[in-house]
Structure 1
Amino acid sequence: MTDFQAIADRVEIEALRAEFSDATMMRDYDRLASLFTEDGALRMPNIPVELVGRGQMLAWGRLAPTKWRYFIQTSHPGVIVLEGDTATGRTYIQELIELNDESGHQNIAIYHDRYARTADGWKFSERVYEVRYRDDAPLDGEGAIVSVPAQGV
């Protein structure tokens, strides 16, 4: 692998991670599912939820409006370890969420990732969510309810 290829791979993986947060915030679960390999897994042990395959991710996405009013997730760059056509990495996450019962909380979390190079570019083969900090204090601000993903982004 050339140095240029390694740089290109890192940029593409970082874009993949940002796209995940955007798709989640915009409730665009079709797009979110497309970021995973066909048999990819999203594991969230603290919830507890384990979604394997794009179909389960889409089904979970249809439940989103019944669970929370708004969800804000910002991702921060973490490590990426390239291993040919696969890679591993971590993404650091800060979140605000308001549930439909008007309770809310903040999370600081880590995604432990596995990536695979596909014909369509880098995809998640596994993403495991680990909460490192949770604050259940009432959220004093107001969030907007997102019902339709923005177009033309």
Structure 2
Amino acid sequence: MAFASFDAKRSGAPMSEINMVPLIDVMLVLLVIFIVTAPLLTQAVKLELPKASSQVNDLRPERIEFAIDAAGTLYWNGEAVTRAEAQRRFALEGRKPVQPEIHLRADQNVPYRHVAFALADASKAGLTKVGFISEPDAAR
């Protein structure tokens, strides 16, 4: 700390040290103000919060294997169905809260219109998760 000196040589020289006492006083006053006002700033609102369980919700979508053979016959999970029956089943699946995944397998020799009809029927029913299943290329 710098104090005044009775030395004539140094009496006019500026003080080279910072006086920390006023800084500490200000900091202590601010600390007291924050300690007093912090509890006043918190306002509690009484709420009835909903109860939730900690069990895991398994929402994995169901898989539907939809196949079209070379003759244009439709298969729903291995069971032969008509186009009207497939449309009805697509509509039922489209109403579910968790939409199933449609795995579409089509023979390479089937006319594309059968595949297009199946995609259109699924789309009309509101199903958006359609995947195409194919065989890997043996040449690679």
Judge same fold: TM > 0.5, yes or no.
Answer: no
Q: Which has the larger radius of gyration?
A: 2
Between the two structures, name the one with larger relative contact order (CA 8 Å, sep ≥ 6).
1
Between Structure 1 and Structure 2, the one with more helix by share is 2
Q: Normalized against structure 2, the TM-score is what?
A: 0.23
For normalisation by structure 1, the TM-score amounts to: 0.22
